[in-house]
Structure 1
Amino acid sequence: MNLENYFISQFHNKHIGDDGALIGTNVYSKDAFFENVHFKTTWMSFYQIAKKAMDVNISDAIAMNAEPQYALLSVAMPKNITKTQMRELACGFQDAADAYGIEIIGGDTISNSKLDISVTLVSTTIKPLLRRGIRDGYLLAYTGELGRSAKDLKKLLNLGKIHKQSKFVNLKLRAEFIKNTARFLRSGMDISDGLFCDLQKLSTVNKIGFRFHKKIAKSVGCSGEEYEMLVAFDKRDRKKVQRRAKQSRTPLTIFATSQRTKYFNSCKAHHF
């Protein structure tokens, strides 16, 4: 058990374990986006930083088939931040919120040595999509293309440049696919820590392993910050899921089948 999971295990609560906490028809989720941990201000504009901070939180709501309604922002800003940079942050938050009909209802701001952001979302759902629900013989699939975020992060760490449309900066969220396919999905989450790491979470909560249809390179399976969707469904619904993926122009890769075996994650932990 890594340190992150150890810390989480200290809190015994039935609501912990998904991308957000489901209480009634509401989903409450929170993510941190900290300078020198998740980004550097030399990599992204203040607008891009704020927008991504919102988008990674919106991704959690989408993963649970929930519609985000309200946002609370906590922003710790360096003392040397300019008013222009503050306006960029505000515009980034607001544009990301407007794209999904979210109302920013408050939060907190403090002075800090660097830029640290935390976002709390309140969402609603009629048919929640949880991590628990995988049975033996279900198919596992992910949306989009994996591996590009890790490659672009490596470029940035080596003082290189990335394309302005890079997924590391501009996330491609899969709201339409999840909404249209939710009735056929039995389990789901977003891929934030990497495919192999997030499969470990599904394996643990469902007490199940996976048989890969073909080998997936570690450069693909260990790439974090992807924010694609990882879903499971009954093989009898395969064509229905694929049809809806095509309708929403969502690339979908079916890569594994669940089975009663142990699963081992070969990636290093991202957080600790």
Structure 2
Amino acid sequence: MDKEKRIISAFANSINGDDGAIVDGYCYSKDLFCEDIHFKRSWMSLEQIGAKAMLVNISDAIVMNATPKYALLGLSLPKCLDMKQIKSLQKGLLDTAKEFGVQIIGGDTTASDKINISITIISKVNQKAIFRKGLKRGDLLAFSGKLGDSLKGLNILLRGGKLHSKHRFIKPKLRQNFFYDIAKKVRVSMDISDGLNKDLSRMLFLNHLGVKFLKKIDRLSLNSGEEYEILFAFDKKHKALIQNLAKKHRVKLNIFAKTTTGRYKFYGREHHF
């Protein structure tokens, strides 16, 4: 058991363990966005940092088929930030919240030597929540969009380069309209934050299933984290409908595997500890 699993297991119960916790028709989710772990200040403007912190949290709500409504905000900020810088960070948070109809209703602030942002999103479930658990043998596995650009971008940044403001690593593209449209036909789902390879292993382990790949996926696409595309599964009888809805929303659909008996082993480095 790795350190992340050890920590999570200490708080295990019937409600937690997914992208969010479903309680009385609402979804509660939280992610941290931390300097020198998820970003460096030399890579992104403070406005971009605030925007991405909000986006990666909203992503969790979307993949559970919930509409974000409210946010609680925790900010740990260096004392050296001046008011202009703080306003820039606020703008990223507020503009992104407004774009998705989210109202920031409270939180807390404290001083730190680095920027750390903790956001709790409170969302209203759309008819029925979708979890990571519930896969059946023979289901088709798919992901939205194109994978790999985030890792490419990270490598550019690590070499001292710069990225366009619309680059995937700077501003993830969320697929809420497409996902809400297909939700009734989706069996399980999660966002791709730690890479398809790792996130797929989590989903399959939870459901005690293996996988048969229907197409070759390159190493870059398998291991690129911070993508925030959607990994999901569905009964093969819904394939044509989901393909048509993807075309309607102009979303690239990648049906890449089907579930089998057996197990899928993740070989790679853990991201969290």
TM-score by length of 1: 0.98
Equivalence for 2:242: 241
**Conserved? CA contact 1:69–1:123, under 8 Å:** yes
Displacement of 1:15 in angstroms is: 1.2
Equivalence for 1:183: 184
Aligned residues: 272
Equivalence for 1:131: 132
**Conserved? CA contact 1:61–1:67, under 8 Å:** yes
**Conserved? CA contact 2:186–2:232, under 8 Å:** yes
Q: Distance in 2 between matches of 1:122 and 1:265?
A: 32
Equivalence for 1:265: 266
Q: Distance in 1 between matches of 2:248 and 2:267?
A: 34
Equivalence for 2:45: 45
**Conserved? CA contact 1:140–1:255, under 8 Å:** yes
Q: Distance in 2 between matches of 1:267 and 1:221?
A: 11
Displacement of 1:266 in angstroms is: 2.2
Displacement of 1:154 in angstroms is: 1.0
Please tell me the root mean square deviation across aligned C-alpha atoms, in Å: 0.9
**Conserved? CA contact 1:143–1:250, under 8 Å:** yes
Equivalence for 1:31: 31
Displacement of 1:28 in angstroms is: 0.4
Q: Distance in 1 between matches of 2:42 and 2:179?
A: 34
1:7 aligns with 2:12: no
Q: Distance in 2 between matches of 1:110 and 1:33?
A: 15
Displacement of 1:267 in angstroms is: 2.4
**Conserved? CA contact 2:209–2:261, under 8 Å:** yes
**Conserved? CA contact 1:218–1:267, under 8 Å:** no
18-27 vs 209-218, greater mean Cα deviation: 209-218
For 1:86, the aligned partner's letter is I
Equivalence for 2:229: 228
Correspondence 1:90-239 to 2 at 5 A? 90-125=90-125, 126-239=127-240
**Conserved? CA contact 2:205–2:263, under 8 Å:** no
CA displacement, residues 12-39 of structure 1 (integer Å, 9 cap, x when unaligned):
2111221001112010000000000000
For 1:28, the aligned partner's letter is Y
CA displacement, residues 87-128 of structure 1 (integer Å, 9 cap, x when unaligned):
111111111110111110010111111111000011110211
Q: Distance in 2 between matches of 1:65 and 1:104?
A: 20
Q: Distance in 2 between matches of 1:229 and 1:266?
A: 21
**Conserved? CA contact 1:192–1:224, under 8 Å:** yes
Q: Distance in 1 between matches of 2:49 and 2:85?
A: 11
For 2:151, the aligned partner's letter is A
**Conserved? CA contact 2:163–2:170, under 8 Å:** no
Unmatched tracts of structure 1, length 5 or more = none
For 1:256, the aligned partner's letter is A
Equivalence for 1:69: 69
SS at match of 1:9: helix
Displacement of 1:69 in angstroms is: 0.7
For 2:180, the aligned partner's letter is K
Q: Distance in 2 between matches of 1:11 and 1:110?
A: 26
Q: Distance in 1 between matches of 2:50 and 2:80?
A: 17
Displacement of 1:2 in angstroms is: 2.2
For 1:249, the aligned partner's letter is R
Q: Distance in 2 between matches of 1:263 and 1:10?
A: 25
For 1:240, the aligned partner's letter is L
Equivalence for 2:82: 82
SS at match of 1:91: helix
TM-score by length of 2: 0.98
Displacement of 1:161 in angstroms is: 1.6
Displacement of 1:148 in angstroms is: 0.7
**Conserved? CA contact 2:74–2:109, under 8 Å:** yes
SS at match of 1:166: coil
SS at match of 1:155: helix
